[in-house]
Structure 1
Amino acid sequence: MQTQHDFTLEPDDIERLANMSGPFDAHLRLIELRLGVEIANRGNVFRVEGRNADVVARAERLLRQLYDDAAGEALDEHAIHLRLGAFADADDGASAASSNAHASQEIAVRVKRGTLRGRGANQQKYLQAIASHDINFGVGPAGTGKTFLAVAMAVDALNQSRVQRVILVRPAVEAGEKLGFLPGDLTQKVDPYLRPLYDALYEMLGVEKVARLLEKNVIEIAPLAYMRGRTLNDAFVILDEAQNTTIEQMKMFLTRLGFGSTAVITGDMTQTDLPKHVKSGLRDATEVLRGVDGVSFTFFESRDVVRHPLVARIVNAYEARDARDAASGPA
Structure 2
Amino acid sequence: MATTAKQTRTTSSTRTSARPAPSARTYVLDTSVLLADPGAIRRFAEHEVVLPVVVITELEGKRHHPELGFFARSALRMLDELRITHGRLDEPVPVGDEGGTVRVELNHTDPTSLPSGFRLGDSDTRILAVATNLAAEGHAVTLVSKDLPLRIKASAVGLGAEEYRAEAVSDSDTGYSGMAELEVTAGELDELYDDAVLDLVEARDLPCHQGLVLLSDRGTALGRVGPDKRVHLVRGDREAFGIHGRSAEQRIALELLLDPEVGIVSLGGRAGTGKSAMALCAGLEAVLERGQHKKVVVFRPLFAVGGQELGYLPGSEAEKMGPWAQAVFDTLGAMTSKEVIEEVLDRGMLEVLPLTHIRGRSLHDAFVIVDEAQSLERNVLLTVLSRIGANSKVVLTHDVAQRDNLRVGRHDGVVAVIEKLKGHPLFAHVTLTRSERSPIAALVTEMLENVTL
TM interval, shorter chain, is 0.5 to 0.7
Establish whether residue 143 from structure 1 lines up as the match of residue 272 from structure 2: yes
TM-score (norm 1): 0.63
Question: Cα distance 1:217–1:119, how it changes in 2: closer, same or farther (>3 A)?
Answer: same
RMSD: 2.5
In 2, distance between residues paired with 1:53 and 1:296? Answer: 20
Establish whether residue 96 from structure 1 lines up as the match of residue 229 from structure 2: yes
In the alignment, what sits opposite 1:51? 196
TM alignment of 1:150-229, pairs within 5 A: 150-160=279-289, 161-178=291-308, 181-229=312-360
In 1, distance between residues paired with 2:251 and 2:420? Answer: 25
In 2, distance between residues paired with 1:277 and 1:177? Answer: 14
* Counterpart residue type for residue 267 of structure 2: G
For residue 391 of structure 2, give the secondary structure of its aligned residue in structure 1. Answer: coil
May I ask how many residue pairs the two structures share in their alignment? 230
* Counterpart residue type for residue 415 of structure 2: R
* Counterpart residue type for residue 372 of structure 2: E
Following superposition, the deviation at residue 177 of structure 1 comes to 4.8
Question: Cα distance 1:103–1:172, how it changes in 2: closer, same or farther (>3 A)?
Answer: same
Identity %: 28
For residue 232 of structure 2, give the secondary structure of its aligned residue in structure 1. Answer: helix
Following superposition, the deviation at residue 205 of structure 1 comes to 4.4
In 2, distance between residues paired with 1:164 and 1:146? Answer: 22
* Counterpart residue type for residue 121 of structure 1: A
Following superposition, the deviation at residue 142 of structure 1 comes to 0.2
* Counterpart residue type for residue 237 of structure 2: E
* Counterpart residue type for residue 243 of structure 1: Q
> For residues 283-329 of structure 1, what are the alpha-carbon distances to aligned partners after superposition, in whole Å with 9 as ceiling and x for unaligned?
2212222222210100123xx1111224333333344333xx5xxxx
Establish whether residue 252 from structure 1 lines up as the match of residue 379 from structure 2: no
Question: Cα distance 1:243–1:50, how it changes in 2: closer, same or farther (>3 A)?
Answer: same
> For residues 73-102 of structure 1, what are the alpha-carbon distances to aligned partners after superposition, in whole Å with 9 as ceiling and x for unaligned?
xxxxxxxxxxxxxxxxxxxx74432xx214
Establish whether residue 315 from structure 1 lines up as the match of residue 445 from structure 2: yes
CA contact (8 A) 2:240 2:254 kept: no
Question: Cα distance 1:178–1:221, how it changes in 2: closer, same or farther (>3 A)?
Answer: closer
Relative to its length, the structure with more helix (as a share) is 1
Question: Cα distance 1:129–1:95, how it changes in 2: closer, same or farther (>3 A)?
Answer: farther
In 2, distance between residues paired with 1:53 and 1:320? Answer: 40
Q: Which runs of 5+ in 1 are unaligned?
A: 1-48, 55-92, 326-331
CA contact (8 A) 1:105 1:128 kept: no
Following superposition, the deviation at residue 144 of structure 1 comes to 0.1
* Counterpart residue type for residue 284 of structure 1: A
> For residues 183-239 of structure 1, what are the alpha-carbon distances to aligned partners after superposition, in whole Å with 9 as ceiling and x for unaligned?
211111112112111222334443334334324422111011111221222111111
Question: Cα distance 1:117–1:209, how it changes in 2: closer, same or farther (>3 A)?
Answer: closer
Following superposition, the deviation at residue 265 of structure 1 comes to 0.6
In 2, distance between residues paired with 1:221 and 1:95? Answer: 37
TM-score (norm 2): 0.47
Establish whether residue 299 from structure 1 lines up as the match of residue 426 from structure 2: no
CA contact (8 A) 1:138 1:297 kept: yes
In the alignment, what sits opposite 1:120? 247
CA contact (8 A) 1:106 1:128 kept: no
Bigger radius of gyration, 1 or 2?
Answer: 2
In 2, distance between residues paired with 1:204 and 1:277? Answer: 32
* Counterpart residue type for residue 196 of structure 2: R
In 1, distance between residues paired with 2:376 and 2:430? Answer: 19
